[in-house]
Amino acid sequence: MENEFLKGKKILIVEDDLSSRLYLNKILEKAGVVILNAGDGQEAVDVTLNNPDIDIILMDIQLPIMDGYSALSKIREIRQDIVVIAQTAYGLLGDKEKILNSGFNDYIIKPILSQNLIEKLIVNLPGK
């Protein structure tokens, strides 16, 4: 079902695990989101550079080539204001403080449930 708040918003999914990425794509597609994808940290930086109208980035922390922390810091050099939400694995709750201290706007814990993701994105929408 399309979501009135998320419809037409541009969201970059950064996830190296293919099945997780497809799962997130399916949820956001249903909500009417315009989706971009990146499979590693460097690609996330490149896609952000080429798409100045991204509303939210959903960033996995453990990524090949460049991890989520390094990718975020590069992205902050390009876009200080962009909303970046970390995806962190269950059991890595100690990362919570590090994530928020690193400049992420928020985080969501894996496994990600559809309704939690939708709510998390809505509360973090720019201008809300």
**Least distance (Å) between residue 39 CB and Mg ion:** 9
The answer to whether 60 contacts Mg ion (rule: CB under 5 A) is yes
With respect to Mg ion, which residue has the nearer C-beta, 36 or 122?
36
| Residue 25 contacts Mg ion per CB under 5 A | no
Confirm or reject binding of residue 62 to Mg ion (CB under 5 A): yes
Rounded to a whole number of angstroms, the minimum distance from the CB of residue 54 to Mg ion is 20
Amino acid at 30: K
Considering beta carbons, is residue 93 or 125 the nearer one to Mg ion? Answer: 93
Q: Residues 30-35: contacts with CB within 8 Å, 24+ apart?
A: 30/1, 30/2, 31/1, 31/2, 31/3, 31/6, 31/7, 31/118, 32/2, 32/3, 32/6, 32/7, 32/8, 33/3, 33/6, 33/7, 33/8, 33/9, 34/8, 34/9, 34/10, 35/10, 35/11
Rule CB under 5 A: is residue 95 a binding residue for Mg ion? no
CB nearer to Mg ion: pick between 6 and 12: 12
Q: What residues contact 115, with CB distance under 8 A and at least 6 apart?
A: none
Q: Using the rule CB under 5 A, is 16 a contact of Mg ion?
A: yes
User: Quick one: 64 or 126, whose CB is closer to Mg ion?
Assistant: 64
What is the binding site for Mg ion (CB under 5 A)?
16, 60, 62
